[in-house]
Amino acid sequence: MIVDEIGGLFAVFDGVGGSAAAEIASQTAANSTREAWKLIMTRNPHRRKIYTFLEDCNKRDLCKILEDLILKSDEQVRTGGARRAGTDDLATTVALAAFCRQPGSHEYTMVYAHVGDSRVYLLRGDERIKRLTSDDGLLTKLVENQIVNEYHAFRIDQAMRADQLSEVEYNYFRLRGGITQALGGPIPPTIHTDKVSIRPGDRILLCTDGIHDNLTDEEIEDIIRTNPRSSASRVLVESARQRSHEDRSQTIRSKPDDMSAIVLTCRF
Q: Taken in order 165, 167, 168, 172, is the CA torsion positive or negative?
A: positive
Least confident of 1-15, 47-61, 76-90, 161-175: 47-61
pLDDT at residue 39 tops 70: yes
Q: Residues 77-94: what's their mean pLDDT? A: 93
How far apart are alpha carbons 216 and 127 in whole angstroms?
16
Q: Residue range 101-112: average pLDDT?
A: 84
Looking at the DSSP bridge assignments, the partners of residue 93 are 14
Those residues whose C-beta lies under 8 Å from the C-beta of residue 118, and which sit 6 or more positions away, are 12, 13, 14, 93, 94, 95, 133, 206, 207, 208, 209
CB 257 within 8 Å of CB 244: yes
203 DSSP β-pair partners: 123, 265
Distance (Å, rounded) from C-alpha 37 to C-alpha 17? 27
Q: Is the pTM of this model over 0.85?
A: yes
Cβ atoms of 142 and 153 closer than 8 Å? yes
* Cα 259 from Cα 268, distance rounded (Å): 29
- How confident is the model at residue 46, as a pLDDT? 47
Give the C-alpha separation, 268 to 265, whole Å: 9
What the chain holds in terms of domains, given with CATH numbers, is 2-137+177-265 (3.60.40.10)
pLDDT at 137: 95
